[in-house]
Amino acid sequence: MSVSVTESVNIEVLKERFPSEIINPYGEVLVILSRLFQRGWESTLESQGHRVFVGDYNGEATFFVKLEKSKEKVVTYLHKRNDWTEEEKVRLVELVKAGKNWKQIGEALGRSSGAVKVKFQGMQKNAGSKPATASNVPNSVVNDEDMVKELLAAASELYPKYRHACRFLLLETSKLLGVNKWIW
C-alpha cells in the first residue's frame, strides 16, 4: 500500500506501512527512511499533533514520527493569532532580557519561536533602536545565526553522499532565515 502526497496522510495509514520502534530520545516512533518520506507529510502530521524528527538510522537519514500526540503543539495551534496585547509585549521584553531563547519565549507566550522573534525585532525597529544582534541581545537568544552556520556546515559535510539529509538541513536553515517557500 502506498501513500501519495495528494492523499490525506494520517498516523493510522502510516502505521500500516512503516515499522514502529522505541528510539531514544524520541520514544515510540514510526521509522520512515527519508527516501520514502513524502513532501507535505511533515506539516500535515504536525498539524495532527505528531512531532516529526530527523536523524540517522542504520547509516541512513530517517524521519521519526512520534506516535504519542504532542500536547505542546496543540497549545501552539490554539493560540495562533496575530494580535499582541500590551502585557504580552512587556512579557516578551522581560523574557529577552532574562536571556531566554526564542523557543522558550514562544512557549511561555503560546506562540511560535519565529513569531516572537519577528515581533521583538519589529518592536525594536518601531522604537528606533538597532535590530536584535549578538551585541545587544543576550547570547542565549541569538542562537539562530549560529544554528544556520552549523546546519550549512553539516550539509556541506554530508553532500553529495547524503542528499536527503542535506535537503532536510537546508529546509531547516530556510526556516531559521524566515524563508517560507523554497523554489525548486
Q: Per residue in 25-41, pLDDT tens? A: 888 999 998 889 887 88
CA nearest neighbour of 172 among 53, 79, 72, 75: 53
The predicted structure's pLDDT at residue 14 = 93
What would the pLDDT profile of 99-134 be if each residue is shown by its tens digit?
888 888 888 888 887 788 888 888 887 766 554 443
In the numeric block, which cell numbers belong to residue 36?
Answer: 520514502
Q: Check pLDDT > 60 for residue 136.
A: no
Give 4 or 58, the one with higher predicted confidence: 58
State the sign of the Cα–Cα–Cα–Cα dihedral 94, 97, 100, 105.
positive
SS (H, E, C) 118-152: HHHHHHHHHCCCCCCCCCCCCCCCCCHHHHHHHHH
| Percent of the chain topping pLDDT 90 | 10
What structural domains does the chain harbor?
Answer: 11-70 (no CATH), 79-126 (1.10.10), 144-177 (no CATH)
State the pLDDT confidence band at 3, using cuts at 50, 70 and 90: low
Q: Give the mean pLDDT of 156-166.
A: 80
What percentage of the chain reaches a pLDDT higher than 70? 77
| Confidence tier at 80 by pLDDT (50, 70, 90) | very low
Q: How far apart are CA 68 and CA 132, in angstroms?
A: 36
Mean pLDDT over all residues of the chain? 76
More confident residue, 170 or 178: 170
What is the value of pTM for the model shown? Answer: 0.40
Dihedral sign of CA atoms 32, 34, 38, 40 in order: positive
Between the ranges 4-13, 53-62, 119-128, where is the mean pLDDT highest? 53-62
Q: What CA–CA distance (Å, rounded) separates 132 from 72? A: 27
Between 57 and 178, whose confidence is greater?
A: 57
pLDDT for the residue numbered 110? 80
> Between the CA of residue 134 and those of 30, 59, 153, what are the distances in Å?
39, 36, 20
Does 7 score more than 60 pLDDT?
Answer: no
The residue whose grid cell reads 544556520 is 148
Question: Taking Cα atoms as reference points, which of 66, 121, 27, 47 lies closest to residue 113?
Answer: 121
Q: Is residue 158's pLDDT more than 50?
A: yes
Q: At residue 72, does pLDDT exceed 70?
A: no
